[in-house]
Amino acid sequence: MRGAHLLLKHYIYCLLIIIFTASLQPVMADDYPQVQILLETTETIAGETIQYPQSGQAKVTAAIITIAPGASTGWHQHKIPLVAYLLSGELEMEYANGKRVTLKQGQALMEAISVAHIGTNLGNQPVKIFVAFIAEEKSEFTHLSEAPSMPPISQHANAKVELIDLSELDHRLKFDIRYASDNNFMGKQLYSKSQALMQKPAAEALIKVHDKLQTMGYGLLIFDAYRPWQVTREMWDKQPQHRAYLADPLQGSRHNRGCAIDLTLYDLKTGKPVSMPSEYDEFSERAHPHYNGGSAQARKARDLLRVTMESEGFKVYENEWWHFDYQGWESYPILNVPL
């Protein structure tokens, strides 16, 4: 028994030595919490200096914001500092100062305060953002704002602006100005007046096209011509799912310069529009000028329109058989004169 007792004491003594020795070993880094810096900045993403509440009771509000696919936040401003972290998805952010960025999962930012901005989910999955507002207790966090109203400046826009009313230039033309009604893809009236304007050289070239088509038994039916930049801005913001067919407002469109026109053919005998592979403003493959489906007669009419327009200095847009840009459009400024 005495030997067993001594053996037990020896075992306990050895165990204490092992525990004591282990306590002297350096602690591995994995035993401590790991710190990953997401953001360190003294400015917002728009370059504003961050300022915290100077008086009153400070208050922090944390939330998770979810933006559905194809949806946007609308133009808005924050009145207080806001830090955001993208939990999932991708979000396109555009700022009134012309900056546009795409935020991806795992990115953090100090959001703009006084600079208006809009976020758009262009993906197929919901976007989730963790946000923390830092403010005084009674502060208003966010308010809606208007979209930018000043178009971008064209660097080489030195051509003389002389918009011509097509209805006064050629009384044979027919008109169905869709954006002067609610019969359009936006579902609302965008022009206060039904009018088709073009820069003078483009308008004169169009009349030459019309003269040629008249000898073949056709006339031109006009859907749209000059378009104020503000309308392009609204289309881009409100219909993000159709951006492949829309002009980027940061670049301005040929329509904004008065050098683009949307049109089709009408039959001189019946006065009715000629059948085409797709409807006007149909955002599908059928609208493409090289689409091989549909009837042979419709494709023939589409191709006749294209060949005749291109014979006088116009070029068809790659996604829309009805849209033609006039040569030299780059020389004209982006206009925002309302109709």
Residues catalogued as catalytic:
320
Cβ burial, residue 168 (10 Å; 0-12/13-18/19+): exposed
3-state class of 184 per DSSP?
A: coil
What tokens does 195 get?
A: 């009018």
Q: Which residues of 136-163 are buried (b: 16+ CB within 10 A; e: fewer)?
A: eeeeeeeeeeebbeebbebeebebeeeb
CA-to-CA dists, residue 303 to 40, 75, 181, angstroms: 58, 41, 28
What tokens does 18 get?
A: 């092992």
Write the single-letter amino acid at 235: M
CA-to-CA dists, residue 288 to 76, 164, 239, 252, 279, angstroms: 36, 29, 19, 22, 11
What tokens does 299 get?
A: 């494709």
Alpha-carbon 212 to chain mean position: 39
Write the single-letter amino acid at 306: R
Cα separation, 286 vs 252, whole angstroms:
25
Cα separation, 102 vs 113, whole angstroms:
18
Cα separation, 287 vs 320, whole angstroms:
5
The DSSP 8-state label assigned to residue 223 in this structure reads E
Cα separation, 326 vs 232, whole angstroms:
18
Cα separation, 51 vs 81, whole angstroms:
7
Cα separation, 278 vs 294, whole angstroms:
8
What tokens does 325 get?
A: 């840009």
